[in-house]
Amino acid sequence: MRLPRRWRSESRAGPGGRTLGLDNRLQAGTLAANGCTFRDFDGYPVSTSLGIAGGVFSYNSFVASARRNAVELKTLPPYGTPSWGTITLSVPPAGFCYAVETNAALDADLTSSPGTIIKCATAISGMLHASGTVFTSLQDDSFGGDTNGDGASTGAPGQWHGIALSYGGSLDQCTVRFAGAAGPPLDRVSLQLAGSASSCLIERGAGLGVIASSTDAAFTDNLVSEHARYQIRATPRWYQLYLESNRFDPSSDGAYNAYEVTGAVEPAATLPPAQPGFCYVVSNLLGGLSSLTVQPGTLLKFQPGAGISLAGGNTVTAHGAVFTSLADDTLGDSGGDGSSSGAPGQWKGLELTDGSGTLVGCNVRFAGAGGTPTLTLQGSGHTIQGCRFASGLGPALRATAPLVPGLLASNTFAPSAPAAFNAIELAPETIDQDVTLPAPAAPFCYVVRGEIAVEGAAGPRWTIATGTVMKLGLAGNLVVGANAAGRLLADGVVFTSIDDDTLGDTGGDGATAGGPGQWRAINVYDHDTGSVLRCSILRYGGSSDAELVIVNSSPLVHNCVLREAATGARTSLNDQRPVFQGCVFQTGAGVAAYANGGPVLAGCDFSGVTGEGVSASTAGIVNAQNCWWGATSGPSDPSGGPPDQNTAGAGVTVSDRAAYRPWLTSPPTNSCPTTTDAGPRAPVIPGRLALLGISPNPGRPPWRVRFAAPQAGMARIEVMDIAGRRLGVRELTLDSPGVYEALVPLGASVRPGVCIVVLKQSGRSVSTHVGLVR
């Protein structure tokens, strides 16, 4: 046997007092000895660097002892560095393995062959090509016996860090077990995958099973099992390519039975159906996809701060999917936090900007983190039908006004508890088409935080339905006819501030009181084509001017109340004559008129004004006849200016250029709204279990079944033929009483004819007939 000077062979005390065999302490060199026999050592027979260890088993003989039957790979000075270029490990003899005790990652182009066992206390990273190799912990005596000299032990999750497989690396028929240690160099994951893996077993780790960072490398016929957290974390595209060609068994305690989804910029992706007992958990804001398709019946849970945000022509398509929070355990514990309940604001929500989103028969709940909307829509290419949006913290919906009527008619927006944001937010925009905005069911209202303009070449008309409550933020502003023709029609509408909690807490800021100047104004400009405000309330507006601003236009304002503002209305007119008929002013100043003309004020009540009832800074005359000024003696007008004077008046003060004779000597009997109640509102809780409609009837499945449920809990829809044979079933978990819609599919083999649809909940049932055609 020939040994170079860089090797020293002796019996010496090593760490822990054990004797070592051949101990190479230099950073370079090759093993020049061959034909040696290593035996009867308490420590490892050979300790050396990775660059030299490859041929140790090939050229020498090893006699097994009771423990430490391994070649130790050293990765810290003075033995060497973690990286040694290209290394091929020879297969150890029976009962022997490679051991890595030092806390540093191996980093090399490393090749191992079937039968190789590598036991590790740290991580393995780099260009690894392994076939039939076992990667496990030093404490795992089931492979290679007692390697670290700690007596009989079976190994446990988290005893080493795992493998970071580089792009171009490969694992074939390998076993990776007991990894997932916390902290660097690889934090709580058994296999971080950029290369390919096939027919491998990755099991019993203390963290994640696999993190797949590339869709280019194949991952097929693998079993990932019994990890303390999720078995897999990958992008939607990766799941489409590889999920169904692998097996992912439940987590070690059943609390993480889910596929974790992380966002990435990538091509179109379809999430395949999850295996029974599993769901998808989205860990961040999922975006950048050209399209995302969610299969029917898929359950997606979202971690705090996560959501779906697709823009720039991208699409999302989902039929019958459930989008909920990670804490919502009604369908199983997927967050490892024990029994927990969903609550408003536990994830972001769905944001579909431009593109073409399709959500049909979906259930979206517990979104609105930070007050964000549960559903945000922009653009006209979306199909949102038969969905239920419930228990959000922010607004249930944020969309432009033209989209809202169809969305409210085709979907269910359920109130949240606590009722902090029961609102439909209208996004800033220019309305250039006719829109009729319906009154949402109580306790919902509309929220406007920016500017909405009504104008266009076709002269659009924006009609706001009776019973509507519209709350505006500090920048909330309605502008009609500023640059092109437009018209606003509002009858029985309340315009107030977000802070006005007399109609419910819409700002999510607890009990707050409204005050003057908390939103901007309703502005009617030159190109107005006949706006009408009737029996409506304007309250707490005028942050930069009056609550109602009229410039060179002639809208009609009938039986309205303008209150709690510095100024009720301001006009700047030439030849136009807007009319205020039977209105009530409870503001600082009532009407301020500028420029060349003034409005017509008839039968109005100025008794609640604390400043001037009419302030006319105009070359024309403000006609204010037959109004009530708070005193039988009329308004106070001690000046001698035209056209009228009334030095004996004890009522509200008026300026010159106001024609107020004759005046009323008692309050008018106007039909004005007197409170902020905008009218009757739809009930929230149905009184009984009922089938409200099935469409199409007759028609082809899937059928859209609309029903009322008087209580939360499980509801079941069954479809039977006329002989009583069950053809289809749909079960839903309802988080609150309300009106719902559900899609009920049937198999392709069902024959045409008359079917019976049965709705069941809590021992009660109702039924109806529907015609099936093919």
Tens-place pLDDT, residues 89-99: 999 998 899 99
Q: Give CA 265 to chain center in angstroms.
A: 18
Q: What is the pLDDT of residue 152?
A: 82
SS3 category, 738: strand
When the pLDDT of each residue in the chain is averaged and rounded to a whole number, the result is 86
Nearest to 36 by CA among 16, 57, 60: 60
At residue 556, the 3 state secondary structure works out as strand
Which amino acid does the sequence have at 301? K
Determine contact, residues 483/526, Cβ cutoff 8 Å.
Answer: no
Highest-confidence range of 268-272, 383-387, 477-481, by mean pLDDT? 477-481
Report which secondary-structure segment, H or E, holds 125.
strand 123-126
The residue among 568, 395, 556, 388 whose CA lies nearest residue 480 is 556
pLDDT the model gives residue 13: 45
pLDDT at position 11 is: 41
Alpha-carbon span 209 to 202, nearest angstrom: 7
Backbone angles phi, psi at 746, to 5 degrees: -130, 160
Q: E strands of 410-535, at which residues?
A: 412-413, 423-426, 429-431, 435-437, 445-448, 451-454, 461-464, 469-472, 477-480, 487-491, 494-497, 522-524, 532-534
Report for 72-76, 132-136, 465-469, 680-684: range of highest mean pLDDT: 132-136
- The DSSP bridge partners found for residue 556 are 532, 579
How does DSSP classify residue 10?
E
Q: Mind listing the pLDDT tens digit for each residue in 620-636?
A: 889 999 999 999 999 99
Q: Using one digit for the tens of pLDDT, what is the confidence trace for 453-471?
A: 999 999 999 999 999 999 9
Residue 176 φ then ψ, to 5°:
-125, 120
3-state secondary structure of 330: helix
Of residues 770 and 495, which shows the higher confidence score?
A: 495
pLDDT of 340: 78
pLDDT at 84: 63
17 exposure class (CB count in 10 Å sphere: 0-12, 13-18, 19+): exposed
Distance separating alpha carbons of residues 425 and 419, to the nearest angstrom: 15
Question: Is the pLDDT confidence value at 289 over 80?
Answer: no
C-alpha span between 221 and 212 (Å, rounded): 15
3-state DSSP helix/strand/coil % of the chain, to nearest 5: 5, 40, 55
Q: What is the spatial distance between Cα 586 and Cα 588, in angstroms, rounded to a whole number?
A: 7
Question: At residue 437, what are phi and psi to the nearest 5 degrees?
Answer: -90, 115
Phi first, then psi, for residue 410 (nearest 5°) are -105, -5
Rounded to whole angstroms, the Cα distance separating 97 from 200 reads 19
Mean local confidence (pLDDT), 676-695: 56
Q: Which amino acid is at 508?
A: G
Query: 765 or 314, which is more confident?
Result: 765
Q: Say which residue, 769 or 471, is predicted with more confidence.
A: 471
What does the pLDDT look like over 691-731, one tens digit per residue?
877 777 666 777 778 787 888 889 999 988 877 888 888 88
Cα separations in angstroms, 104 against 76, 277, 406, 657:
7, 38, 61, 91
Look at residue 679 in the predicted model and tell me its pLDDT: 39
Give me the phi and psi of 244, to 5 degrees please: -75, -10
- Residue 14 is predicted with a pLDDT of 47
- Name the residue among 387, 428, 431, 429 with its Cα closest to residue 408: 387
Q: What pLDDT score was predicted for residue 25?
A: 53
Distances (CA, A) of 672 to 113, 309, 314, 532, 668: 89, 45, 49, 15, 10
- Amino acid identity, residue 103? N
Between CA 536 and CA 164 the distance in angstroms is 66
Cβ-proximal residues to 412 (8 Å cutoff; 6+ apart), any chain: 387, 388, 389, 390, 738, 739, 740, 741
Helix (H, G, I), strand (E, B) or coil at 17: helix
pTM of the predicted structure, to 2 decimals: 0.78
pLDDT reading at 164 higher than 60: yes
Contact 197, 225 (CB under 8 A): no
| 340: helix, strand or coil | coil
Average pLDDT over residues 487-515: 86
* Rounded-to-integer distance, Cα 246 and Cα 251, Å: 15
* Whether the predicted pLDDT of 650 surpasses 60: yes
CB 565 within 8 Å of CB 585: no
Tokens standing for residue 96? 């022997």
For residues 755 and 727, the answer to whether their CB atoms sit within 8 Å is: yes
Is the predicted pLDDT of residue 544 greater than 80, yes or no? Answer: yes
CA neighbor of 21 nearest in space, from 32, 6, 37: 37
Residue 136: its pLDDT value, please? 97
* DSSP 8-class letter at 40: S
H helix runs in 382-520, sequence order: 404-410
**Gap between the Cα atoms of 520 and 372, Å rounded:** 23
Give the residue ranges of DSSP H helices in 122-173.
Answer: none
Q: What integer pLDDT is reported at residue 660 of this predicted model?
A: 94
**What does the pLDDT look like over 410-446, one tens digit per residue?**
999 988 766 667 899 999 999 999 999 999 988 899 9
Residue that the structure tokens 């990894």 belong to:
179
Kind of pairing between the strands at 738-744 and 703-709: antiparallel
What SS3 class is residue 433? Answer: coil
The rounded distance, in Å, linking the Cα atoms of 494 and 536 is: 6
What is each CA distance from 728 to 298, 493, 677, 717, in whole angstroms? Answer: 18, 45, 45, 8
Q: Which CATH number fits domain 690-772: 2.60.40.2550, 3.40.120.10, 2.60.40.1510, 3.40.640.10?
A: 2.60.40.2550
The β-bridge relationship of strands 350-353 and 37-38 is unpaired
Task: Confirm if 575 and 599 have CB atoms less than 8 A apart.
Answer: no
3-state secondary structure (DSSP) of residue 739:
strand
Secondary structure (3-state) at 763: coil
Q: Is the separation of the CB atoms in 538 and 522 below 8 Å?
A: yes
Q: Report the C-alpha gap between 263 and 244 in whole angstroms.
A: 20
* Pairwise CA distance, residues 385 & 160, whole Å: 50
pLDDT of residue 674: 57
